[in-house]
Structure 1
Amino acid sequence: MLTLFRALAVLPLWLLHAIGWLLGWLAFLGSPTYRRRFAANARQAGYRLADVISAVPSAGRLVAEAPRLWFGAAPRVLWSGAELIDAALTRGRGIVFLTPHLGCFEAAAQGYAGRFGPITVLYRPPRKAWLRPLVEGARTRRNLFAAPTTLAGVKQMLKALQAGQAVGLLPDQVPPDGLGVWAPFFGRPAYTMTLSARLARQTGAAVLLAWGERLGWGRGYRIHLRPWPGDFEAEPQAAAAQVNSQMEALIRECPSQYLWGYARYKTPREAR
């Protein structure tokens, strides 16, 4: 697998995205379960399947571009709102980036590491043991560090923030081990992590909303930044609802690049 990924990493981004277009449609057409979840999630957000059908090949591009992002040359990254990062860094208390499963979140983290400095990103280790070394090694680059969704990973992120560095996480990811609360997401209860609010309150870090737009024809990515509006609520459910609301707003900026097939409303074993 590592050899295959390194071989694919030398391909131009436009070709990988073309391969991803095919992969996305094969997955959609080949899996009734995936199609039903895709359509149901979109409908929950108020979209018809026809409104977000372009998200089908977009999901395939997310998979196909991974070898290039993990092992290849850094892609072209443009910024929209970089002054928000400059202002946050001058405070010296670190930055918490919140990014939904929208566009290319890998490019957002790599782009920050390449331009601004160290960033630690939270990730969920693969369930298959043979995949773990590949994912862990690929996501650790210059100024880019990976923290697992464990107590050790949380401590790693706190340490980074205390050093004035940045951390990134996907708060629309279903948290493991009971580390979440129920909060509405597009009007339906979803098990939601509380880590983002905890990190911000404990460290006084700035909070920025971010997502990486995938540009057409392999032209790279544009990172969009938004300020966090106001303060976090003290009560965990209310803070989680705030986070979900902001994730919804980002998704509505570009629903054609959201992972509608993600099992956002699943119930973790510990939360049943």
Structure 2
Amino acid sequence: MPVVLRFFSVLPLWLLHALGAALGWVAFCASARYRQRFCAHAALAGYSFGAVRAAVAHAGRMVAELPRLWLGAPLPCRLEGGACVEQAYAAGRGIVYLTPHQGCFELSAQAAARRWSAAHGPITVLYRPARQAWLARLMATARNRPGMLAVPTTLAGVRQMLLALRRGEAVGLLPDQVPPAGQGHWAPFFGRDAYTMTLAVRLARQTGAAIVLARCERLAWGRGFVTHFEPLAAPLASPLEAAVLQINQAMEQLIRQCPGQYLWGYARYKPPRAEAASPAEPGA
């Protein structure tokens, strides 16, 4: 399998996106469960299928571009709204980047690392190791790009993120990812309760880090990407439950800026899995 991934990592982006678009539609047509979840989640947000049908192809493009992201040459990505990042670093604060499952979300961290890590240290990103041994080994190395450090969703990984923030560095999280049981709160997301991580809020509160919202938009015809940055609209609310809701609302706003590239088929409302052996919450 690594040989196959390396083959795809050298293909031009336009070809990967064309193959991925076809893959996305094959998956959508082949799985009734996936179609139902996709349409139901879009409807919760007020979108008809016609309004977000582009997201079917973009889900496939996300998969097809992974070999290039992990193993290939850097992808072209323009940055917009970086003033809020510069301001946070100038104030001596660490940064918690938050991005939803939208567009090329992995590239948002890579692009930020290329721009700022030389001067301000690497970006530490949290990831869930794969169950397949070969894929777990690949992810552990491929995601450690220049200026980036990938850490697993364990207590040790969270501690590394805390240390990075206290050094004034940056970390990256997907706050619309369902955390394990005991590591989140139920909060509305597009009007329906979803189990939502508290980790982002706890990291920011314990270190004084700035929260920066990021979304990486995929351009048409393989022309590259644009990563947009913006600050959280208001300081984190109190208590914790209110801050978690605030993060969900911020993710909703990002998604509405480009709904055709959100992963509507992601199982956002599933119950959390049990994971008693590895509490990944600081200060719990």
RMSD over aligned Cα atoms: 1.2
Alpha-carbon offset, residue 199 of structure 1? 0.7
Q: 1:61 is matched with which residue?
A: 61
* 1:134 alignment partner, one of 108, 130, 138: 138
1:225 counterpart SS class: strand
User: What secondary structure, in the 3-state scheme, does the structure 1 residue paired with 2:251 have?
Assistant: helix
Q: Over residues 186-220 of structure 1, what are the superposed CA-to-partner deviations in whole Å (9 max), with x where a residue is unaligned?
A: 00000000011111110011111000000111111
Distance in 2 separating the partners of 1:177 and 1:160:
25
Q: CA offsets, 1:27-71, max 9 Å, x none?
A: 000111100100110011111111111100000000000000110
CA contact (8 A) 1:121 1:147 kept: yes
Tell me whether 148-157 or 62-71 shows the greater mean CA deviation: 148-157
Which residue does 2:230 correspond to in 1? 226
Percent identical pairs in the alignment equals 59
1:7 is aligned to 2:7: yes
Please state if 1:264 is matched with 2:275. no
Q: 1:122 aligns with which of 119, 126, 129?
A: 126
Residue 243 of structure 2, aligned match among 223, 239, 242: 239
Unpaired segments ≥5 residues, structure 1: none
Structure 1 SS opposite 2:228: strand
Runs ≥4 residues deviating over 6 A:
none
Distance 1:176 1:129, change over 3 A: farther
| Segment of structure 1 superposing worse, 56-65 or 141-150 | 141-150
CA–CA separation in structure 1 for the residues paired with 2:133 and 2:185:
28
Q: Give the C-alpha shift of residue 234 in structure 1.
A: 2.7
In 1, distance between residues paired with 2:16 and 2:94?
A: 34
Amino acid at match of 1:132: A
The reply to whether residue 171 of structure 1 matches residue 175 of structure 2 is yes
Paired residue secondary structure (1:198) = helix
Residue 114 of structure 1, CA deviation: 1.1
TM-score by length of 1: 0.97
Q: Secondary structure at the match of 1:97?
A: strand
Tell me the CA shift for residue 130 of structure 1: 3.3
Count how many residue pairs are aligned between Structure 1 and Structure 2: 271
Contact 1:20 1:60 in 2 (8 A): yes
Partner of 1:39: 39
Q: What are the ranges of 5 or more consecutive residues in structure 2 without an aligned counterpart?
A: 276-284
Residue 108 of structure 1 corresponds to which residue in structure 2?
108
Q: 1:72 to 1:269 in 2, by over 3 A?
A: closer
Residues 61-210 of structure 1 mapped to structure 2, 5 A cutoff: 61-117=61-117, 118-210=122-214
Deviation at 1:4, TM superposition (A): 1.0
Which deviates further from its counterpart, 8-17 or 143-152?
143-152
| Correspondence list, 1:13-24, <5 A | 13-24=13-24
Letter of the structure 1 residue corresponding to residue 19 of structure 2: I
Question: Matched residue of 2:28: which SS?
Answer: helix
Q: Say whether the 8 Å CA contact 1:20–1:61 is kept in structure 2.
A: yes
Aligned-residue offset at 1:227: 1.0
